[in-house]
A and B are shown apart, each in its own frame.
Chain A
Amino acid sequence: DIQLTQSPSFLSASVGDRVTITCRASQGINNFLAWYQLKPGQAPKVLIYVVGTLQTGVPSRFSGSASGTEFTLTISGLQPEDSAVYYCQQLYSYPLTFGGGTKVEIK
Chain B
Amino acid sequence: AQLLESGGGLVQPGGSLRLSCTASGFTFNNYAMAWVRQAPGKGLEWVSSISGNADTTPHSDSVKGRFTISRDNSKNTLFLHMSSLRAEDAAIYYCVKCASTCQHQWFDSWGQGTQVTVSS
Contact = CB atoms under 8 A, between A and B. Distances in A.
- Is chain A's binding surface mostly helix, strand, loop or mixed? loop
Interface of A: 32, 34, 36, 38, 42-46, 49-50, 55, 87, 89, 91-101
Point out which of A89, A94, A100 has the most chain B C-beta atoms below 10 A from its C-beta: A94
A50 B104 CA distance: 8
B107 A89 contact: yes
Closest 7 CB pairs of A and B: A49-B106, A34-B106, A96-B46, A98-B44, A43-B110, A44-B110, A101-B43
Nearest to B34: A96
Nearest to A97: B46
Interface residues of B, number: 24
Given A87-B43, A98-B44, A45 B102 contact: no
Interface of B: 3, 34, 43-46, 49, 58, 60-61, 94, 99, 102-113
Contact of A95 (B46, B99, B104): B46
A50 B109 CA distance: 16
Contacts of A91: 102-106
22 contacts: A32-B103, A34-B106, A36-B44, A38-B44, A43-B109, A43-B110, A43-B113, A44-B44, A44-B94, A46-B108, A49-B105, A49-B106, A89-B44, A89-B46, A91-B106, A92-B104, A95-B46, A95-B61, A96-B46, A97-B46, A98-B46, A100-B43
A97 B44 CA distance: 8
